[in-house]
A and B are shown apart, each in its own frame.
Chain A
Amino acid sequence: MPVQYYIFLSIALFCIGVMGVLMRRNAIIIFMCIELMLNAVNLLMVSFSKMWADAGRVDAGSAQLFVFFIMVVAAAEVAVGLAIITMVYRNTHSVDINILNRLKN
């Protein structure tokens, strides 16, 4: 199976995530779409790792470790982000992102 197949799959997943961020205004769904984009990148990096492992590189595992670190950062981001969304919901009783216009004042 060519690597391009995985490239196109992750491009499609990433673009679906971008569309979700642009189209929806529920903050939680926007957050989930960001997770989707991160996962598309992870998938691409694992397929490149497999490609270099097939080519005989011994350090192809580094890419998988980068994926691991991306997962770590995503988990931390979700913890803080959901806390912020909960806080916004507690203050405004809505998760509409247009409410955040008020940050301007």
Chain B
Amino acid sequence: MVLSVVALVSALGVVLSKNPVTSVLCLIVTFFTIAGHYIMMNAQFLAVVHIIVYAGAIMVLFLYVLMLMNLNAELEPQKRNWLKYAGAISGGALLVVLVAALRDASMPALSTNATDIGLIKNLGMILFKQYVVPFEVSSILFLSAMIGAVVIGKKE
């Protein structure tokens, strides 16, 4: 699947690229491919929200902070090499363990026919019938996060 290969390659690009701005752009590509996966799995609302929130808001925030700090000029200080290898090896070991644990699991195949469970009508019904309280709590969380960001970022 082309989309998955693009996702994995650009995710590797996030980790391996020297320039932080390149990392941000690779991460945006990854987010778009993940949104494509959401659309293929009939989660249209989530795909749209994902693009708006991640590609539209979060990555712009990252880019803004990066440009504000002007980090492209200065290189990342070189870590000792064996620490880098240790990180790569432990991440790869986690990958091997998880794949080996789940390789023999028998799962049903996803059908290709469309379900309407990801449409905004059904999700809205679930959200405002069963999950009203978490919804309100998340709005309070947002408000407190906004105030916290302003207070932290304020010059004293």
Contacts and interface: CB of A to CB of B under 8 A. Distances in A.
8 tightest A-B CB contacts, nearest first = A22-B87, A19-B91, A76-B145, A15-B95, A20-B15, A23-B87, A3-B107, A83-B149
Contact of A65 (B62, B77, B131): B131
19 contacts: A2-B107, A15-B95, A19-B15, A20-B14, A28-B66, A29-B14, A29-B20, A42-B50, A47-B110, A51-B108, A59-B126, A64-B43, A65-B127, A68-B46, A72-B142, A79-B145, A83-B150, A86-B69, A96-B76
B95 A12 contact: yes
A5 to B, nearest CB: 8
Interface string B51-92: 001100110011001101101000011010000101110111
Interface in A46-103: 46-47, 49-51, 53-55, 59-62, 64-65, 67-69, 71-80, 82-87, 89, 95-96
B141 A51 contact: no
Chain B interface SS verdict (over half): helix
Interface residues of A, number: 70
B52 to A, nearest CB: 10
B91 A16 contact: yes
Interface of A: 1-9, 11-13, 15-26, 28-29, 31-33, 35-36, 39, 42-43, 46-47, 49-51, 53-55, 59-62, 64-65, 67-69, 71-80, 82-87, 89, 95-96
Contact of B110 (A3, A25, A31, A59): A3
Contacts of A3: 107-110
